[in-house]
């Protein structure tokens, strides 16, 4: 029970900080998440709410990474397992090398896309690791040639972890993402 309360506290704090960061004129800020095999940076201006996993309604004959639909305050959102989507749709040499731990998998949450993107979608991520700014990273590299269009720069933090920036607008409008039928 205590673990669940601390997760709710973390989600609430991150949601509050996300709102403040989205309204500020910060040059670049990301929500740092783990999903499947990688560490990802979601641009704050393209990210929406952080929500706990709620009752999913499966949709038959869809891709394995499409989890179903969920009702969020009266609106239906398609839900995508971000880690599984990236693993199934990108060449293995461009995927992030780190692995999510079992504890992160148990703390899965949804991050909705910003209403500005006009796509009712929530991404399942296995862990939230906070907000990041340019100063959080020691180096940046451009995406590899074979990387999908929605991959932005790759950043390395002071601990040596690699973080892949995702352009959620490009992702949400890509044919692979929109084609959920199996």
Give yes or no for a contact between 26 and 133, defined as CB atoms under 8 angstroms apart. yes
**pLDDT tens digits along 58-82:** 999 999 999 999 999 999 999 999 9
Structural domains present in the chain? 2-178 (2.40.50.180)
Question: What is the signed CA dihedral for 121, 124, 128, 132, rounded to 10 degrees?
Answer: -40
CA angle 74, 63, 175 (to 5 degrees): 85
Phi-psi region of 74 (alpha: psi -120 to 50; beta: other; left: phi over 0): left
Pairing relationship of beta strands 38-43 and 162-166 according to DSSP bridges: parallel
Q: What does the DSSP assignment read for 28-52?
A: SEEEEEEETTEEEEEEGGGEEEEEE
Of the ranges 2-6, 63-67, 150-154, which one carries the lowest mean pLDDT score?
2-6
Q: Of all residues in the chain, what percent carry a pLDDT higher than 70?
A: 77
pTM: 0.80
Distances (CA, A) of 120 to 43, 112, 179: 17, 8, 14
Q: Which residues of 67-81 are buried (b: 16+ CB within 10 A; e: fewer)?
A: bebbebeeeebbbbb
Kindly state the tokens that stand for 24. 């500020």
114-134 pLDDT, tens digit each: 999 999 999 999 999 999 999
């Amino acid at each position: 029970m205590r673990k669940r309360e601390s997760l709710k506290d973390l989600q609430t704090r991150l949601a509050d900080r996300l709102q403040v960061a989205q309204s500020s004129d910060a040059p670049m800020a990301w929500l740092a998440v783990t999903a499947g095999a990688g560490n990802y940076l979601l641009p704050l201006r393209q990210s929406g709410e952080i929500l706990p996993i709620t009752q999913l309604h499966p949709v038959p004959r869809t891709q394995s990474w499409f989890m179903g639909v969920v009702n969020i305050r009266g609106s239906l959102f398609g839900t995508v397992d971000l880690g599984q989507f990236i693993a199934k749709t990108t060449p293995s040499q461009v995927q992030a090398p780190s692995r999510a731990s079992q504890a992160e998998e148990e703390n899965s949450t949804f991050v909705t896309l910003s209403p500005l993107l006009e796509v009712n979608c929530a991404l399942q991520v296995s862990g939230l690791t906070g907000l990041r700014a340019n100063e959080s990273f020691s180096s940046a590299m451009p995406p590899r040639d074979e990387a999908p269009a929605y991959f932005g720069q790759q950043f390395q933090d002071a601990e040596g972890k690699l973080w892949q920036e995702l352009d959620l607008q490009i992702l949400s409008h890509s044919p692979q993402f929109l084609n959920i039928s199996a």
